Chain A
């Protein structure tokens, strides 16, 4: 493999992994707090849609990004209300929200764009860290990315720090492992879980915006096409630890990028198998073949004060 091809491969791996980074980090926080957000797919789609509409309507992708994040808040609050206040089944509500959002965004997209569906949507600018962008071969292909990626990486680093080093991180952990003890020690499990779900929503919206206004500068119906489920798979594969989750996202991104690279190298592997690979790896991981997985003890268990 020539350095050029390698550089392009690394670049597209990172680009394809970026939305997974964001969504999986959000999902990780909520799962660590005990809520399995199956609705991360719907949250991503909400962000992708609202971000695209906002950017198209205002002509300003930055405003689009803000609108995308704001639009996800009602969706996240709905998930939080159903799973924390009404203690509804988290899988049912997640799938319900995904079906609802897919329908609603498709409907709204046709209404708003209709015949204008080919109109240009302003996208987020690309940026490379000074110095890295000037590297030979790799600078352009790997480091020149939508700036949202770099913002996302900063947010992820912040999240990792909060989870590992702060009282808030400890509270989140406690709510997912021993909600009863957390409650006894004066912590509001419900409030913590609300906040965790809201955080998932915001991160997922950023992930969705990365897809629509960051990467391809348009919106297509159901464009997340399973990325949200992939983010959940990454959290599982990552054994609910942030570093391993990010590695899983990178692995999934690489598997997807291979689809475009292998034919260039003259290697014929069916696309479907490469797309399937992340799910297969995640299955092997939860099956205990990649070391013992330990989910937060109270994951999917509604809390009753």
Chain B
């Protein structure tokens, strides 16, 4: 009896550490952000109102924030999955770019719109995920075969993908829309109606799309795979001690490549969501920072899927609010960058105390 009680107290304490510290960090960063708003000379109330309005002030704003959060959460799930094998996937940005490019190609020129029923939007998503998987697997192969540090390779692959994306929308031979005059923008055509992700309510005023249920299912799948499956166990074994894992007969190369490929697939899917769910047009700035935000969400979640969801929602609402901050209150969006940076650094610093508490147990 006393044993269960103390166990409960322990897990409550652990909950306090894993929720309390991040919450404190977020609040502290927001307070510092408010001070900055004051320093700029904008009334805090006005800035807050503009932020809230952009983040959750209307049905449209709420849906846009959640749609953003979906992309962050997918990259975050991928990060957590790879992290289980002690792999750090810094490549979300590139995987999103690859996913976005392939989803565009499939939607515009791959005949996706002619496919029957929901296949019209599922096929581009699948191609996006596949492309992301290959992009991620590349880093996995380099890691397993050449011992290349995956932090470095995924970072380099991100830059390569971002410039490939830039090229693809600059070149008419690739994805750029046909140039009718010199003012034709360097971006793709709009993707056909049928290839867009269906809206859950069918109402463009509340454009929450079918990516939400997909992401929820994926969250459950990733959580179950990590906690209950043989593959999840193998990943953890590889992460904890690759030498022992190999001795125990776990295929090292295959586990590493599979982990990176799955993380990449989730990143590619995030790119598909962004293109088919709310942007509809491929532009050079398509992936701007989404992969890095997703990476940070994954990092801050410290291996927990609910943590990824919480962080993704936070970042999704912050981004939407920040955009409105600039439009209605004349506070540069850059403020959100400052707050995000502060949150990341505060949490990175807090990890020190969290780990000390955990190891003290």
Contact = CB atoms under 8 A, between A and B. Distances in A.
A283 B138 CA distance: 11
Interface string A264-305: 000000111101100110110011100001010001100000
What's the dominant secondary structure at chain A's contact region?
helix
A198 interface: no
Contact of A283 (B156, B299, B351, B352): B156
Nearest to A299: B149
Contacts of A280: 156, 160
B295 A95 contact: yes
Interface stretch (B52-60, B260-268, B330-338): B330-338
Contacts of A271: 170
A286 B152 contact: yes
In this complex, the member of A273, A280, A287 whose beta carbon has the largest number of chain B beta carbons within 10 angstroms is A287
B163 interface: yes
Given A276-B160, A283-B157, A91 B88 contact: yes
Interface residues of A, number: 47
B292 interface: yes
A88 B337 contact: no
A36 B349 CA distance: 17
A104 B332 CA distance: 10
A282 B345 contact: no
Contact of B337 (A106, A111, A295): A106
A101 B341 contact: yes
Given A92-B296, A279-B159, A273 B167 contact: yes
Contacts of A279: 156, 159-160, 163
Nearest to B90: A91
B171 A99 contact: no
Contacts, number: 137
A103 B335 contact: yes
A98 B149 CA distance: 21
Interface string B149-168: 10111011101100110110
Interface in A240-280: 270-273, 275-276, 279-280
A102 interface: yes
Interface residues of B, number: 43
Interface string B21-54: 0000000000000001000100000000000000
Contacts of B151: 36, 91, 300
B167 A295 contact: no
A189 B294 CA distance: 33
Nearest to B346: A96
A36 B166 CA distance: 28
A138 interface: no
B307 to A, nearest CB: 14
Interface of A: 36, 78, 82, 86-89, 91-93, 95-104, 106-107, 110-111, 221, 226, 229, 232-233, 236, 270-273, 275-276, 279-280, 282-283, 286-288, 293, 295, 299-300
